[in-house]
Structure 1
Amino acid sequence: MARYTRRARFGAGIALAATAALALTGCATAADAAPGGDSDVDASSATSVTDFGTFADLEAAAKAEGQLNVIALPRDWANYGEILDLFAKKYPEITINEASPDVSSAEEIQAAETNKGLDTAPDVFDLGLTVTLQNTDTFAPYQVQTWDDIPAELKEKTGLFVGDYGGYMSIGYDSSKFDAPTSLDDLKSADYKGAVAINGDPTQAGAAFAAVGLATVQSDGTLDDFQPGIDFFSELQKAGNLLKVDVTTATVASGETPVVFDWDYLNAAHAQGDDGNKNWKVVVLDGTGYAGYYNQAINKDAPNPAAARLWQEFLYSDEVQNLWLKGGARPARMTAMTDAGTIDADLAAALPEVPAETVVPTEEQSTNAGTLLGEKWAAAVQ
């Protein structure tokens, strides 16, 4: 993440992509990283398309592999269903193997370790920041052709990991049962008995980690110490309001999880489609907001290394960046695409209003918070 601890101010959402930070200082260009084309290149060592020769050469190498293994990509998460289907349509020669869509970021890494050396290992990852920073030795560096459009704060300088899409931590709620919460204190009342859920375990899942971060800053704490956020959820647990159920669109539609802490784009998805909850609303609390991005990375032991790199090129294209935007998320290239006129302006204008003041954790803050959660979370909510 960017190395700052002050509270950063954001505009109407577009500026988030330029300043919400995920990566280490500095950036290199794709040309700096790539020694030049070679038709006999080992795809697992390629650091840019130049190593393959041309983009067509990369496509040919990926088609020759014929497979792409993805993991932890729910189809209702940031519009991944449409994105996966578009790749399949564009490259029918490549079979997409979608494994374990609902596992956590930590479980993605575990799957890579368990399946190392097998053709079932994941080729690519989509990870929360804490898990990303803990596992950089698992990744292969790669810089996509649109590398220069990605803000330096959203990428590790060699391309080990790169921010892909982001948003704001929010509260989704069934408006047929509750009024819009205006503060965390609202959720402590008896009206919310057995009603408040978070998306996963904050020691493993990025969205749940961010929920504790939001509770921290909304409780007048700082990202230097997540204890106020842990205390908030402990109070919810003691009041009988914390609901320990894995959140899905089905649990939202059925009313099993009527109030949910999650990223704004994920909460918004629960109201969409024939199976969605039409009474579902989303609020980003006033005061200090909490923003974050997920990260793309290539498994250094990917069984299909060319397909993994083609997938990255695909994800950072204008077309797919706009598909993430269609899913309510803010794509990494949003600022550059806005300047170039390639962003879908209607979708950008439809993004929810964001707080005037927003924070994102630095690398050190994220690491320290992960350690604290590992020590304190289980006991706090038991």
Structure 2
Amino acid sequence: MITKTRRLLSVTTAMVVASTSFAFAEPSAELIAAAKKEGQLTTIALPHSWCGYGEVIAGFKKKYPEIQVNELNPDASSGDEIEAIKANKDNKGPQAPDVIDVGLSFGPSAKKESLIQPYKVATWDSIPDDAKDADGYWYGDYYGVLSFIVNTDIVKNVPKDWKDLTGSDYANSVALAGDPRSSNQAVQGVYAAGIAAGETDATKAGEAGLKLFADINKAGNFVPVIGKSASLAQGSTPIVIAWDYNGLSWRDTLKGNPPLEVVVPASGVVAGVYVQAISAYAPHPNAAKLWMEHIYSDEGQLAYLKGYCHPIRFNDLAKNNKIPKELLDALPPAAAYEKAIFPTLDDQDKGKTAITTQWDKVVGANIQ
């Protein structure tokens, strides 16, 4: 079972004619030579079934067959990854990770503890500023946005925005994919509803989100259970608020029985980001840098997209017509992501505090 908690644009339809080749900045010959001399890269917590990592790793091996990829504990959590760095500071053996893929909050904390080292990839400028450390210690690699996952066998009038969920069409239909008193995915769902209400202050956005969910509950539309693919399929929670990549995976798993639609709301599009970093104690620092160049290349970023995770360079790829049409056809419309925002850690903390401490008082739904 995967224990790692993985809970994250302005384009038009005319812009999605894909280039037939990858046109990205190549790593230097010196870096490639140094990495090949090291001969190994040690990763951790990269299950092949998540975000297209199987293809990402295969692509690296194909380009650099001289470098052996040593994959540690694919089911590790972000915390486990950080502990692996700490435990192997003086170890240059196979248990010491070179690179990590962790939740957003772990990037700044790892930097503060001097556990990671800076490196800026060739495509650095195309990574959004609000998804990277200015000094290059960590940067986002992929993200998802909060969406409505809808069983269209039951829900005929699909909701388009957060306020729609208060409507009479959705009696006993709406669930969160977690308890907002403890689940980050659920907290961010409530927070996104507050952003949709027009609030820019994080605390006020949390409070506005609570008010909307109180209205959904008063309307008789909120179902106080944790929404999952099974409850979607059974019809007990025909609308689940979850990360888009979760919904898209559920859609594939259910294979049209029942049919699901993944709707990115018209407003309040909140993104959740994962970040990459190189261990300060990496036994193979040049291989680590070459790995970073690979995953932030066009090829690596599109492999994430095949796994339904939006690559952090999505805007740049779309603007330059590098996204194959078949990839976009498997996702909600590309233009739906144009308003995606990336809350800062401070915003996340403020919103979380407001939501977790006031849910019982304002909404009053005890989620089971």
TM-score in terms of structure 1 length: 0.67
Shift of 1:279: 1.8
Shift of 1:227: 3.0
Shift of 1:96: 3.7
Q: How does 1:205-354 map to 2 (within 5 A)?
A: 205=184, 207-218=185-196, 221-225=199-203, 226-230=206-210, 241-244=223-226, 259-272=239-252, 279-348=259-328, 351-353=331-333, 354=336
Q: Which secondary structure does the structure 1 equivalent of 2:202 belong to?
A: coil
> Gaps (5+ residues) in structure 1?
1-8, 16-29, 31-48
Given candidates 17, 31, 36, the residue that maps to 1:60 is 36
* Cα distance between partner residues in 1 of 2:356 and 2:87: 23
Work out whether residues 78 and 266 of structure 1, in 8 Å CA contact, stay in contact via their aligned partners in 2: no
Work out whether residues 215 and 229 of structure 1, in 8 Å CA contact, stay in contact via their aligned partners in 2: yes
Shift of 1:56: 2.0
Q: Could you report, residue by residue, the CA deviation over 1:135-194 in whole angstroms, capped at 9, with x for unpaired residues?
A: 4323321111222333444322221111222343212133334443443325996523xx
Q: Which residue number in structure 1 is paired with residue 4 of structure 2?
A: none
Distance 1:273 1:345, change over 3 A: same
Q: Which residue number in structure 2 is paired with residue 126 of structure 1?
A: 101
Shift of 1:87: 3.1
TM-score in terms of structure 2 length: 0.69
Residue type of the partner of 1:174? N
Q: Which secondary structure does the structure 1 equivalent of 2:247 belong to?
A: helix
Q: Could you report, residue by residue, the CA deviation over 1:292-343 in whole angstroms, capped at 9, with x for unpaired residues?
A: 4432222324454444323211101121112223333432333444455544
Q: Could you report, residue by residue, the CA deviation over 1:244-303 in whole angstroms, capped at 9, with x for unpaired residues?
A: 47x5x7886788976433332332122226878662221122333223443222232445
Distance 1:185 1:219, change over 3 A: farther
Q: Percent identity?
A: 29
Given candidates 148, 152, 164, the residue that maps to 2:141 is 164
Shift of 1:363: 4.8
Q: Which residue number in structure 1 is paired with residue 71 of structure 2?
A: 97
Q: Which residue number in structure 2 is paired with residue 196 of structure 1?
A: 175
Q: Could you report, residue by residue, the CA deviation over 1:12-50 in whole angstroms, capped at 9, with x for unpaired residues?
A: 4999xxxxxxxxxxxxxx9xxxxxxxxxxxxxxxxxx77
Work out whether residues 268 and 282 of structure 1, in 8 Å CA contact, stay in contact via their aligned partners in 2: yes
Structure of greater relative contact order (alpha carbons < 8 Å, 6+ residues apart): 2
Residue type of the partner of 1:242? P
Q: Which secondary structure does the structure 2 equivalent of 1:271 belong to?
A: helix
Q: Which secondary structure does the structure 1 equivalent of 2:251 belong to?
A: coil
Given candidates 140, 151, 155, the residue that maps to 2:117 is 140
* Cα distance between partner residues in 1 of 2:250 and 2:136: 33
Matched, 1:368 2:346: no
Aligned residues: 332
> Gaps (5+ residues) in structure 2?
1-8, 16-24
Q: Which residue number in structure 1 is paired with residue 54 of structure 2?
A: 81
